[in-house]
Chains A and B, each alone.
Chain A
Amino acid sequence: MSRQHAPQLAGLVLVAFFAIFPFVYSANDYPYIMHLLITGFFYAILASSWSMLAGYAGQFSFGHMGFTGIGAYTTALFCHYIYISPEATNLCTEYAIGGQFLVFVNPIGVTSSTLTQDCLREALALWDGKVQVTPMPVWLGISLGTIMGGVFGLLIGFLVLPLRAAYLALFTLGFSEILRAAISAEIAITRGQAGIELPYLFDQGITLFGREFDKTDKLPPYFVMFGLLLTCLAILTWLARSKFGLFVRALREDQDAAAALGVNTTRYKVMVFVITSMMAAAAGAVMAHYIRIITPNNLMILQMSLVVAMAVIGGVENVFAAAIGAIIIEFTLELLRNSFEIGPVVVDMTIWRLVIFGIILMVTLRFSRNGIISPLINYFLRGHVAKETVAKRVAGGKSSETSS
């Protein structure tokens, strides 16, 4: 009995550990460790939502990073181009709303430094400090990013409805690549490879637990990301245990049979796309505000490979295993970063660690299809099943000879 509860207990301990950690830990590398953890949480959200999409629903989409990019770029563009001003600029496109003006800044790309100023900068120069414009609230940008992620998830979900396996993987990979191409190409709006800057998550600083935190402090974003991870995990667990989880797994196993049994396969397939892409978009938006610059390279296939590998090594059919796998791998990759020398040869571990990682991925797939962490959890949760079956068969005895 207690064995079945071990994973839950371990989970609680883990959550408590991460909640207390930033207050207890005080070594010199505090900011670095915090940064690693925030990044780890970010990947954990992606890996666990991807495991819902790929592991539970069987939709092997390689477009997950694309949704992250949609979330990040939506909030970036929103915060970058829209402001609220108490007075009309008479230069920009603007709409009066209750005495205030919603100002849309014209996109001028990367050439803004000296030659041309965008219309708001020009107006500010004219006002000469007499008028203060307010940027849009960050949380609104993040919510918008999440919604946009959902909208695109809906679109992609419908487009890929008739596609299976390889076609789906190709199409979603292509979607991600097109998005990257478009962002790199539309320099005037997205500033292309130069990347677009974002405001701090808490631009004014924030008071938490009776302590004032500066906008550059790591603790508030740590808890935002951690909270987002817990929220996502809670939603995913709830979904997995409800009939939603049952249906998407049935869908994965046999779409036609599920339909013949009354499951609206179209609806659940689209829904799982929408939900997981919203999670990816939310994570991307928060992460973008934390690292404060986003470039198209954030959508590279490498990033997608990392997410896939994290989920697979953790265990693609268990959202918790995928999340834990992501955090562990993020740390392992960082630990392996130090280059060393064997005689005259310098081994550049920044690259070699990825090679090792790839080999681990393949070997995990080959020999332990459910990843490394997920079997551990199953050992505790399902360990009793065989015993139970045998016991019941002995007790019942009536059909024991027919089982294989």
Chain B
Amino acid sequence: MINLVVKDLNKRFGGLHVLKDVSFEINGPELIGLIGPNGAGKTTLTNVLDGAIKPNSGTVYLNGERIDQLQPFEVAREGLGRTFQVTRSFRRMTVLENMLVPALALDHAHSRAEIVEKAMEVLEFLTIDHLRNEHAQALSGGQQKLLELGRLLMLNPAVIILDEPFAGVHPRLMEVIYRYIERVNESGSAIILISHQMDSIFSLCKRLLVLNYGDLIADGAPETVKNDPVVIEAYLGVDEEDDETHGTPEEEGATP
């Protein structure tokens, strides 16, 4: 049974209070949308959950284990996986090698052949199995995104955080990602989906979390959240759906 408990998370960068007493709980394989305007703290929250950033205060428990003070790799081993806003595939490793990294880091029970078999199965599902011996840098942007999603699956994570999986993706690949999310969800993992594409969020998610400048201002079913006056004022009222650049100070991967 999946159980993620986030309690009173606080994070400051200098004078900037990026997360203010954020608390929520995930029980079971839920599909949750995390939305909020730019600079709301979504990526910071992801980084804190992932262990890349230590919170100033507050706790995170995953299935009874406290994970907020762990290193990112330990968090990953506890079963929390995440993708990055900017795709971060291992560019000069083949697609198959990309898939093997998380599997070999975690899985000591299966033989390499079995792991390869599983990786091929995932690649096939993501429609990039014919590229398995190509270097990841030879893939298109959309395919790299798929590869990153597939890589994550090799962790067998209990909770997956997808940071902007739809940004800059061709509609046809979008369908693949939709199917991916549904399949992963059905197989028993909880998913936190961060996106600015409201259509996708509303069609996929059964529950929404809304962050606004560090405050978690809403948590509930999409219909309720949609009509929440606070949310409307903070976010939905302003049309920012097409905006895909962010300006949070902790932004990762701003490589020129």
Physical contact A–B (CB less than 8 Å)? yes
Beta-carbon nearest neighbor of B141 in chain A: A404
CB atoms of B52 and A262 under 8 A apart: no
| Residue among B82, B90, B93, B173 having the largest count of chain A Cβ atoms under 10 Å | B90
Say whether, besides A389-B131, A396-B130, A398-B127, A262 and B155 are in contact (CB < 8 Å).
yes
Contacts of B50 in A (CB 8 A): 260
Q: Smallest distance from the beta carbon of A382 to chain B beta carbons, Å?
A: 8
CB atoms of B104 and A246 under 8 A apart: yes
Interface residue from A259, A399, A402 paired with B76 (Cβ < 8 Å): A259
Interface residue from B100, B133, B139 paired with A404 (Cβ < 8 Å): B139
Say whether, besides A250-B93, A256-B52, A264-B73, A402 and B129 are in contact (CB < 8 Å).
no
User: How many angstroms from the CA of A261 to the CA of B73 in the assembled complex?
Assistant: 6
Q: Smallest distance from the beta carbon of B121 to chain A beta carbons, Å?
A: 14
Q: For the complex, is A226 an interface residue (Cβ under 8 Å from B)?
A: no
Interface residue from A253, A388, A403 paired with B90 (Cβ < 8 Å): A253
Q: For the complex, is A222 an interface residue (Cβ under 8 Å from B)?
A: no
Q: For the complex, is A392 an interface residue (Cβ under 8 Å from B)?
A: yes
CB atoms of B101 and A261 under 8 A apart: yes
Beta-carbon nearest neighbor of B100 in chain A: A246
In A356-404, which residues have CB < 8 Å from any B CB? 382, 385, 388-389, 392-393, 395-396, 398-399, 401-404
User: How many angstroms from the CA of A247 to the CA of B106 in the assembled complex?
Assistant: 12
CB atoms of B134 and A250 under 8 A apart: no
In A176-201, which residues have CB < 8 Å from any B CB? none
Q: For the complex, is B92 an interface residue (Cβ under 8 Å from A)?
A: yes
In B185-244, which residues have CB < 8 Å from any A CB? none
CB atoms of A258 and B101 under 8 A apart: yes
Beta-carbon nearest neighbor of B91 in chain A: A253
Q: Smallest distance from the beta carbon of A240 to chain B beta carbons, Å?
A: 12
User: How many angstroms from the CA of A247 to the CA of B102 in the assembled complex?
Assistant: 9
Q: For the complex, is B81 an interface residue (Cβ under 8 Å from A)?
A: yes
User: How many angstroms from the CA of A264 to the CA of B170 in the assembled complex?
Assistant: 34
User: How many angstroms from the CA of A395 to the CA of B124 in the assembled complex?
Assistant: 13
The number of chain A residues touching the other chain, given as a range, is: 20 to 34
Interface residue from A249, A256, A385 paired with B93 (Cβ < 8 Å): A249
Contacts of A402 in B (CB 8 A): 127, 140, 142-143, 170, 172-173
Q: For the complex, is A160 an interface residue (Cβ under 8 Å from B)?
A: no
Q: Smallest distance from the beta carbon of B72 to chain A beta carbons, Å?
A: 4
User: How many angstroms from the CA of A404 to the CA of B81 in the assembled complex?
Assistant: 28
User: How many angstroms from the CA of A388 to the CA of B106 in the assembled complex?
Assistant: 30
CB atoms of A404 and B155 under 8 A apart: no
User: How many angstroms from the CA of A257 to the CA of B71 in the assembled complex?
Assistant: 13
CB atoms of A254 and B90 under 8 A apart: yes
Contacts of A106 in B (CB 8 A): none
Contacts of B155 in A (CB 8 A): 261-262
Q: For the complex, is B84 an interface residue (Cβ under 8 Å from A)?
A: yes
Q: For the complex, is B77 an interface residue (Cβ under 8 Å from A)?
A: yes
User: How many angstroms from the CA of A404 to the CA of B140 in the assembled complex?
Assistant: 5
Q: Smallest distance from the beta carbon of B74 to chain A beta carbons, Å?
A: 8
Beta-carbon nearest neighbor of B75 in chain A: A260
Q: Smallest distance from the beta carbon of A323 to chain B beta carbons, Å?
A: 21
Contacts of B11 in A (CB 8 A): none
Q: For the complex, is A237 an interface residue (Cβ under 8 Å from B)?
A: no
CB atoms of A247 and B101 under 8 A apart: yes
Q: For the complex, is A211 an interface residue (Cβ under 8 Å from B)?
A: no
Beta-carbon nearest neighbor of A388 in chain B: B133
Q: Which 4 A-B pairs have the closest CB atoms?
A: A392-B130, A404-B140, A262-B76, A253-B90
* Other A-B pairs beyond A261-B152, A404-B140, 7, CB < 8 Å: A249-B93, A258-B90, A259-B72, A260-B50, A261-B105, A261-B155, A382-B133
Q: Can you report 16 residue pairs joining A to B where beta carbons are below 8 Å apart?
A: A246-B93, A246-B101, A247-B105, A254-B89, A254-B90, A261-B102, A261-B155, A265-B73, A388-B133, A389-B133, A392-B130, A399-B127, A399-B130, A402-B127, A402-B170, A403-B131
